Structure 1
Amino acid sequence: MRARRPQVGVVLTAQHRAGRFAFAREHQDWQIRHWRSVLFTDESRFTLSTCDRCDRVWRRRGERSAACNILQHDRFGGGSVMVWGGISLGGRTALHVLARGGLTAIRYRDEILRPLVRPYAGAVVPRFLLMQDNARPHVAGVCQQFLQEEGIDAMDWPARSPDLNPIEHIWDIMSRSIHQRHVAPQTVQELADALVQVWEEIPQETICHLIRSMPRHCREVIQARGGHTHY
């Protein structure tokens, strides 16, 4: 045995596990034609300053505090950008940058559902399905009413299940792409512009591969009896 960093996972209660297990069993046999109508969506926050504790330095004893051995890190991130996006087998939405503050139910309806999701649903009808998690703005009454009025069906998504949402891998790809740039973004606006660029440059085949993996993800959840998976 060797010492390893523990995998980080969300807190799962017995109720969460049961919901995840039921969802996975219901969708494990879905074919590509079923997933083709689903738009997977999510929000993510990216910061200017990152510190994942994975960097290493070579140093001698007693040189721990030498300037060349210190990774400077702003504990408050030095500014951040929240974005929303949606992916499907047929394409993707525009990446929406949420400026000035967090996401509320009204903003979600007016900035995302109305201008971005509704037109996308109109191009996929009649079997369009919106995948959104159970964040409070998503399940608020004003948003549920809007979806009902527009005839947009939302998937019954299990709580605490980021490992089942393929767009989470897209956020990881984007984060690593930004982090590996020779010239890192220095301002919030530069970060937002870089994120939009990276989003648009992700190959559609990468997105399709992630969505085609949904049956395998479901089987992993079933094998874990609704518990954590390695995704």
Structure 2
Amino acid sequence: MVRNRLHEGGMRARRPQVKAGSQLSTCDRRDRVWRRRGERSAACNILQHDRFGSGSVMVWGGISLGGRAALHVLARGSLTAIRYRDEILRPLVRPYAGAVGPGFLLMQDNARPHVAGVCQQFLQDEGIDAMDWPARSPDLNPIEHIWDIMSRSIHQRHIAPQTVQELADALVQVWEEIPQETIRHLIRSNAQVL
């Protein structure tokens, strides 16, 4: 096995040293480099990482056993209750709930925009039921596994996104490429835990 040979050569898997660079952030706590003791600062063991503030993308996505909503990339700025209602609930959740039909249940966490009065009122007015989410509970939403899959897929690309727009485009592509069977499996596994 390759790992055994590397160990015999005195090499161990370690987190890379992170250095500011010119690329969009691709640092992942799962990243590892194989190195010997004392080689931490060798150029080949340093991961380039950009620390500029505009290098992130906020997205929203919805999944169900039968499909998924389009991935929505939010423009700059923080997510407020008004933005959540106007950019997510009204144009995305409402039609998706209608397509799923009776029995649709919205699963979302207790983030402030989600539980704000304007959003709760909107859901009530539209007849959309939301699952009660206990405070300080572990995040059991299966979409968290999807975000992890997407993150790993982006980090494994041979050419990392260089701009925020390239990152947004890559995320949309990865979202669309996730097999529906993977989504079904995650939802069913999560239902067994609940």
TM-score where L is the length of structure 1: 0.67
> Per-residue deviation at 1:159?
2.8
Structure 2 matches for 1:128-143, cutoff 5 A? 128-143=104-119
CA distance in 2, matches of 1:5, 1:228: 34
- Shift in CA distance, 88/193, structure 1 to aligned 2, threshold 3 Å: same
Deviations 1:94-139 (A, max 9, x none): 0000011111100000001000011111123322111111000011
Deviations 1:60-85 (A, max 9, x none): 66543332332222345660000000
What's the secondary structure of 1:229's corresponding residue? helix
Larger deviation: 71-80 or 83-92?
71-80
- Shift in CA distance, 90/73, structure 1 to aligned 2, threshold 3 Å: same
- Shift in CA distance, 77/177, structure 1 to aligned 2, threshold 3 Å: farther
Larger deviation: 179-188 or 156-165?
156-165
- 2:15 counterpart of 1:5: yes
- Shift in CA distance, 93/47, structure 1 to aligned 2, threshold 3 Å: farther
> Per-residue deviation at 1:145?
0.9
* Aligned 8 A contact 1:47 1:79 in 2: no
CA distance in 1, matches of 2:39, 2:21: 35
CA distance in 1, matches of 2:59, 2:192: 25
* Aligned 8 A contact 1:49 1:74 in 2: yes
* Aligned 8 A contact 1:47 1:81 in 2: no
- Shift in CA distance, 154/5, structure 1 to aligned 2, threshold 3 Å: farther
CA distance in 1, matches of 2:57, 2:125: 31
Structure 1: gaps of 5 or more residues: 7-43, 214-226
> Per-residue deviation at 1:205?
0.3
CA distance in 1, matches of 2:98, 2:22: 30
* Aligned 8 A contact 2:26 2:49 in 1: yes
- Shift in CA distance, 228/48, structure 1 to aligned 2, threshold 3 Å: farther
- Shift in CA distance, 110/45, structure 1 to aligned 2, threshold 3 Å: farther
CA distance in 1, matches of 2:97, 2:50: 41
* Aligned 8 A contact 1:130 1:153 in 2: yes
TM-score where L is the length of structure 2: 0.79
What's the secondary structure of 1:53's corresponding residue? coil
CA distance in 2, matches of 1:63, 1:190: 33
* Aligned 8 A contact 1:147 1:153 in 2: yes
Q: Specify the alignment match of 1:184 in structure 2.
A: 160
CA distance in 1, matches of 2:77, 2:45: 35
What's the secondary structure of 2:39's corresponding residue? coil
Give identity over the alignment, percent: 90
Larger deviation: 80-89 or 156-165?
156-165
> Per-residue deviation at 1:3?
13
Greater RCO structure (CA 8 Å; 6+ sep): 1
What's the secondary structure of 2:12's corresponding residue? coil
Larger deviation: 157-166 or 173-182?
157-166
- Shift in CA distance, 4/150, structure 1 to aligned 2, threshold 3 Å: same
CA distance in 1, matches of 2:63, 2:188: 12
- Shift in CA distance, 47/172, structure 1 to aligned 2, threshold 3 Å: farther
**RMSD (CA atoms):** 4.8
